[in-house]
Amino acid sequence: MSNGPATSAARLERKSISLELTNICNLRCSYCMRDEDSLYHTPANFFSVDLLRDIIRSAKQPECAFDSISFTGGEVTIHPRFREIIETVRAEGWKYSFVTNGWHFDRVYPVLLDNLDALNVVAFSLDGATRESHDYWRGEGSFVRVVRALTRCYVRGIPFIIKAPIRRDTLPHLQEFALFSARMGARALHFSHLLPTSNSAEDESGLTQAERAHCEQEIAVLSNIFKMEVGVAAGYYNLNPDSPCNALSDRSANIDYHGRLSLCCNLSGYRGAAAETDVVADLTKEDFAAGYVRLRRLADEQLERRRLMLEKHALGGTRPDLHSGSPCLFCLQSFGKIPWRDGSQPSRSLPVLSATPNSPSAVFLKQESV
Amino acid sequence: MNNTVLAPPGHIVFTEFEGDEGVLVDLNSKRYYTLNETATLVWRALEKGNTKAEIVRLMTTAYDVTPERAAASIDNLLSSLQSHHLLG
């Protein structure tokens, strides 16, 4: 039996762009890492179909060699030209995936059926394997909506996976997530550690290093039990100096809803960030291939920064703390995304509730129609 | 019996598909159940709180079937749903 974490889709075989189709979302999940001004107070921005086409044509050139795209947001299914977006990707010979909360899945379901041959996978975000636990974070009715979406996928052969967060409230329920996902017909279950947006969020919902290790071992056990792929995203504690993730190993690139090229979807538009040094190009003004050169340089610099940090600890006989040993947390620190950690800036995050099933919804769990 | 309302329980999620077919998910067992066109008609009526007598009328209106035969078919379906814990 393996003792290490099972990494989810450890490395993409394809080179994939993650692209934010919109800034807005119909749900208000208090732990969301996206900046709340963009999500709820900025006018809706919907990514241009023409710009998408230009980006794909540049990114597919041999010097870049990308061949697929994964849409994120905001909530991608809100995009009013979703069909044109998908048909553009397919016409360019690329594969697509997207992440969704499932609320508006009925809107895009016919588009998927018409473009199934270009679909890699639909990823559904799930906060709990029961109605009570999921709706606690996402609002009443969310769980039934996502179950209906999973049903449509299962019956019509649309490949889908489940993405589940690792938090203090979900930690005792990892097996429930796996059982639910397998029973519903998911191809995979990908867990990911909380990306903290405030000290209070980290204290209330984040796990200690010891708890993380226990959790990752449990996920490794589940990955051996289930036929379905079960894994954890790249942010787990990892002292291997080699590239720990797709963003740093030239397997992915991120484009935000403004059309700006940046290193990683986990850094982009981060709630409470003090800097945007992970942004390397404005693709409304510059070709993807030109910006990509700077992106690779930035990734190499970050890899070197991480390697030196690990080497310093090794020479000193010390063990990196969680925020250095976790590649995602290390990048969040390096790129000025969590300035509240050293007290240099106050947190702008919403408070995170302790999740208790059947608790009444707080104001920021309210549903909003778009 | 004819005026009894059999409400679908809260742990069942119904999804309607094109072609008037439906699928039930039992959130307790996490199992899918497929409903054919007539079973979907019955389920939709149950969700609306229709009585068995009303469902018989719906079925005889929608299909060329006698009330007696419709009632027997509905009884069979309801028994099957109950045996799978899909109906209280």
pLDDT tens digits in sequence order for chain A, 370 residues long:
344 455 544 445 689 999 999 999 999 888 899 988 888 888 899 999 999 999 999 999 999 999 999 999 999 999 999 999 999 999 999 999 999 999 999 999 999 999 999 999 999 999 999 999 999 999 999 999 999 999 999 999 999 999 999 999 999 999 999 999 999 999 999 999 999 988 888 888 999 999 999 999 999 999 999 999 999 988 899 999 999 999 999 999 999 999 999 999 999 999 999 999 999 999 999 999 999 999 999 999 999 999 999 999 999 999 999 999 999 999 999 999 999 887 666 555 444 433 333 332 222 222 222 2
Percent of chain B past pLDDT 70, that is, above it, reads 98
**Are the beta carbons of A302 and A160 closer than 8 angstroms?**
no
pLDDT over 90 (residue B2): no
In angstroms, what separates the C-alpha of B66 from chain A's closest C-alpha? 33
| Helix, strand, or coil (residue A255) | strand
Residue recorded with tokens 């044509």: A57
When CB atoms are compared, the residue of A144, A154, A180 closest to B32 is A154
**Burial, A297: exposed, middle or buried (Cβ in 10 Å; 0-12, 13-18, 19+)?**
exposed
Put simply, the answer to whether A147 touches B13 (Cβ < 8 Å) is yes
Please compute, for residue A206, the number of CA atoms within 13 A of its CA located in the half-sphere on the CB side: 18
Facing B30 at nearest CB: one of A148, A152, A183: A183
- Partners of B30 on chain A (C-beta within 8 Å) are 179-180, 183-184
Pairwise CA distance, residues A323 & A231, whole Å: 21
Residues of chain B in contact with residue A184, where contact means CB-CB under 8 angstroms, are 25, 30
Q: Do B31 and A183 touch (CB under 8 A)?
A: yes
Q: What is the pLDDT of residue A41?
A: 83
Give the pLDDT confidence score for residue A363 in this predicted structure.
Answer: 25
How does pLDDT run across B38-64, given as a tens digit for each residue? 999 999 999 999 999 999 999 999 999
Residues in A closer than 8 angstroms to B17, CB to CB, are 152, 155
Question: And the tokens for B61?
Answer: 């209106």
What is the pLDDT at residue A354?
Answer: 35
Cβ of B15 within 8 Å of Cβ of A151? The answer is: yes
Q: What does each C-alpha distance from A327 to A118, A313, A320, A354 come to in angstroms?
A: 32, 15, 11, 26
Q: Does B13 touch chain A (CB under 8 A)?
A: yes
B16 and chain A: CB distance < 8 Å anywhere?
no
Cβ contact B17–A179 (<8 Å): no
CA separation for the pair A191, A220 (Å, rounded): 11
A336, A268 in Cβ contact below 8 A?
Answer: no
State which H helix or E strand residue A120 sits in: strand A119-125
Cα torsion A307, A313, A314, A320: sign: negative
Looking at residue B88, what is its pLDDT? 79
Rounded CA gap, A73 and A269, in Å? 10
Is cis: bond before A74, omega within 30 of 0? yes
- Residue A154: what pLDDT? 98
Predicted TM-score of the model (pTM): 0.90
Closest C-alpha to B13, from A135, A370, A40? A135
The pLDDT, as a whole number, for residue A315 is 97
